[in-house]
Amino acid sequence: MNKEIFKLYDIRGEYPSQINEKEVFEIGFKSTSIFRKGAKIVIGRDARLSSPGLSKALENGLINAGFEVFDVGIITTPMLDFAVNFFKADGGIVVTASHNPKDDNGLGIVDSSGLFIGGRDLFLKMSSEKNNFKTTYIKKENKIKRENLDLKYAQELSEYFDVSKKIKAVVDCSNGSSAPVIKKIKFPKNVEAIIINGNLDGNFKAHGPDPTQKIAQVAIAKAVIKYKADIGIVFDGDGDRALFADGKGKIIRPENIWRILAQGARDKKQSVVFTVLCRYMMNLIKNSSGFSNEFNFVETRVGHLFMKEVCRKEKAFAGVESSMHYYFPEDNFSGSAILAMIKVINSISKLPYDFYQLSDMLPKVFVSREINFKFDLKKLPVIYSKIKKMFSSRDNKIYFTDGISVLSSDWWFNVRPSNTENLVRLNIEAKEEIKLEEIKKYLTKILSK
Ligand SMILES: [Zn+2]
């Protein structure tokens, strides 16, 4: 097995040089190390060109290892939870590389409760599996049950609509796997949904599968203005991230999206879970909107693996990641971006003014994009103590939740190691651009050495 593709959160690599049919067959076959003998396993896939072939190889691996396989075809990643629950299965596997470039692919593996099993854990268990591995594919097509759950899933999600006034929304599926579900969503009469890029296309030719890219953001801004819509939504390739734009085409940060949802919450004595990268913005929101004595703010490490778990433990009102993942209790925190869309449409329909008018009032900050440095991770403790020494003062708070963070009233930064490569990642936010540049210059100097 190729150890390289087993990442912290899931399995991912370039197709076919790193991840291919042979690897995936073996992973399916060695899943006996994580699931009980004869377990029921649900499999699904995204819209990538290599996904049908990999899915077939996975099926063969699982069937040959004695599992019962339910193939639900093209799904969003959060829909895997729904499918596992629907079939009362022991686990599920989705073939996807999420928002990664089109030539990548991967696997996300969940247990019977829908929690992801991290790639490192998978590698440890699978590589010690004694189950005798044959490289020949034995086709046992008759052992696989196939069922499409799009309609059932869309019906369930549609029930969460609660829209108070007329809303026009542009819904951009990025040619990814959210499209088949979105087309079956029953939008209420007062919601006019204009679906764009709703054809499945493994080349993601509209603007790629990643809504954090400028090209996708420019496209939704244009579309919102063209259709005179109130809101624009862009899903990533596998429907677990959603980007929101207001009626003027301005992109709204995930923390501010939470702020909009929180405004309408009936019970504010609940937890909101966010990652360390949201801290600065969450602090601004907390202090600017009087939420500080209401919600219980819970911080966690970056990654859906941790988010899902912490949200469940906290029975949270919502979970938010700066990477545009959202988690809600209605579907046991599956991370459905479609549910996020529904909840945001509900919230903006209850505003006494337009969405863009609200977004103009939200806190604004200057943001560095994530900056990566090639780095020998063994040197990190030295760097941390250097940073600690440099920034220690009564006005700054220093945290070690995920790498090191320094929080001041007017700026914030985080330095953390990549979980997959020999890189450190730097994120900075500040009220003033000049301060952001000053911090960036200093940290670039010490991280480039
Ligand atoms: Zn994704």
Distance 237 CA to ligand 1 centre (A): 6
**What was the pLDDT predicted at 10?**
93
Distance from the alpha carbon of residue 176 to the mean position of ligand 1, in angstroms: 10
pTM value is 0.92
**Which ranges in the chain are annotated with CATH 3.30.310.50?**
366-447
Distance CA 227, CA 207 (A): 19
Pairing of strands 191-196, 91-95: unpaired
Question: 81 alpha carbon to ligand 1 midpoint, in Å?
Answer: 14
CA 445, CA 438: separation in Å to the nearest integer? 11
Residue with tokens 């809303």: 167
Cα of 442 from ligand 1 centre, angstroms: 33
Kindly give the parts of the chain with pLDDT less than 50: none
Q: Provide the 8-state DSSP code for 204.
A: -
Rounded to whole angstroms, what are the CA distances from 82 to 78, 308, 334?
7, 15, 8
Say if residue 257 is exposed, middle or buried (CB neighbours under 10 Å; 0-12, 13-18, 19+): buried
C-alpha 37 – ligand 1 centre gap (Å): 30
Give 308's contacts (C-beta < 8 A, 6+ positions apart): 114, 115, 116, 319, 327, 333, 334, 335
**pLDDT of res. 421:** 73
Alpha helices in 264-415 (DSSP H): 279-289, 304-314, 337-349, 355-361, 380-391
Q: Which residues participate in catalysis according to the annotation?
A: 98
d(CA 238, ligand 1 centre) in Å: 5
Query: For helices 337-349 and 254-263, what crossing angle results, to 10°?
Result: 50
Gyration radius (Cα) of the chain, Å: 22
What spacing in Å lies between the alpha carbon of 235 and ligand 1's midpoint? 8
Residue 231 CA to ligand 1 center (angstroms) comes to 21
Choose the CATH number for 166-361 among 3.40.630.30, 3.40.50.300, 3.40.120.10, 3.40.50.2000. Answer: 3.40.120.10
106 forms beta bridges with 12
End-to-end CA distance of the chain: 35
66: left (phi over 0), alpha (psi -120 to 50) or beta: left
pLDDT at position 136 is: 59
Whole-number Å distance, alpha carbon 11 to ligand 1 midpoint, is 13
**CATH T-level fold of 366-447:** TATA-Binding Protein (3.30.310)
Cα of 232 from ligand 1 centre, angstroms: 18
Angstrom distance (rounded) from CA 207 to CA 169: 19
CATH for 3-147 (3.40.30.160, 3.40.120.10, 3.30.2320.80, 3.60.150.10): 3.40.120.10
How far is the C-alpha of 41 from the C-alpha of 142, rounded, in Å? 15
Any bridge partners for residue 398, and if so which?
406
The Å distance, Cα 204 to ligand 1 centre, comes to 14
Residues 396 and 411: their CA atoms lie apart, in Å, by 10
Q: ω into residue 417 within 30 of 0, thus cis?
A: no
Distance 314 CA to ligand 1 centre (A): 24
- Spacing, Cα 51 to ligand 1 middle (Å): 15
Please report the pLDDT score of residue 131 as a whole number: 64
Q: What is the pLDDT of residue 129?
A: 80
Spatial separation of the C-alpha atoms in residues 11 and 98, rounded to whole Å:
11
Q: Determine the pLDDT at residue 174.
A: 98
Q: In the chain, which segments carry CATH 3.40.120.10?
A: 3-147, 166-361
Of 284, 218, 239, 212, the closest CA to residue 78 belongs to 239
Strand ranges for 120-190 from DSSP E: 144-146, 167-172
* Helix, strand and coil in the chain, % to nearest 5: 35, 25, 40
Q: Give the residue ranges of DSSP H helices in 102-160.
A: 119-127, 150-158
